[in-house]
Amino acid sequence: MINPTDDLREVLERGARWNALLTSRLVTDEDLQAIQRYELRDQDARADMMDEEGDACARAFLNVLSDVSQTEYVQYVLALITRMLSDDKTRASHFLAVEKKDDDDKGEGGGGGEAYAVFLRLLAAPDWFTREKAMFCLTRLIDQRPARDKRLRFSEDGEPATPAGVAAVRLSRWLCRELSADPPFHPHRAVPSCVTALASLLSIREVRPVATRAGVARAVAPLLKVTAGPHNVQELYEAGLCAWLLTFHPPACDAMARCGVIRGLMEVAGAAAKEKVVRVATLALRNLAAAT
Q: Residues 82-97: pLDDT tens digits? A: 999 999 999 999 999 9
pTM to 2 decimals?
Answer: 0.92
CA separation (Å) from 102 to 24, 73, 109, 139?
Answer: 22, 23, 10, 25
Model pLDDT, residue 179:
96
CA distance 161 to 168: 11
Of 119, 166, 168, the closest CA to residue 143 belongs to 168
Q: Do residues 146 and 96 lie in contact, with contact meaning Cβ atoms separated by under 8 Å? A: yes
Mean pLDDT of 12-25: 90
pLDDT higher than 60, residue 189: yes
The average pLDDT across 238-258 equals 97
User: 99: how many CB neighbours lie within 10 A of its CB?
Assistant: 18
* pLDDT class of 160 with cuts at 50, 70, 90: confident
- pLDDT (0 to 100) of residue 33: 94
- Give the residue-averaged pLDDT of 13-23: 90
Mean pLDDT calculated for residue range 172-197: 96
Per residue in 263-275, pLDDT tens?
A: 999 999 998 889 9
Say how many C-beta atoms besides its own lie within 10 A of residue 3's C-beta. 12
Q: What average pLDDT does range 19-33 have in this prediction?
A: 90
Residue type, 2: I
Q: How do residues 207-235 score in pLDDT, each as one tens digit?
A: 999 999 999 999 999 999 876 455 588 99
Q: What average pLDDT does this structure show over 234-252?
A: 96
Nearest CA to 216 among 231, 233, 237, 197?
197
- pLDDT averaged over the chain? 90
Distances (CA, A) of 148 to 72, 107, 154, 182, 217: 37, 16, 14, 39, 30
Residue 248 has pLDDT above 60, yes or no: yes
The whole-number pLDDT of residue 230 equals 52
Q: Specify the higher pLDDT residue, 106 or 216.
A: 216
Would you state the pLDDT for residue 158? 67
> Does the pLDDT value for residue 105 go beyond 50?
no
Does 172 have pLDDT greater than 50? yes
Alpha carbon distance, N-terminus to C-terminus of the chain = 34
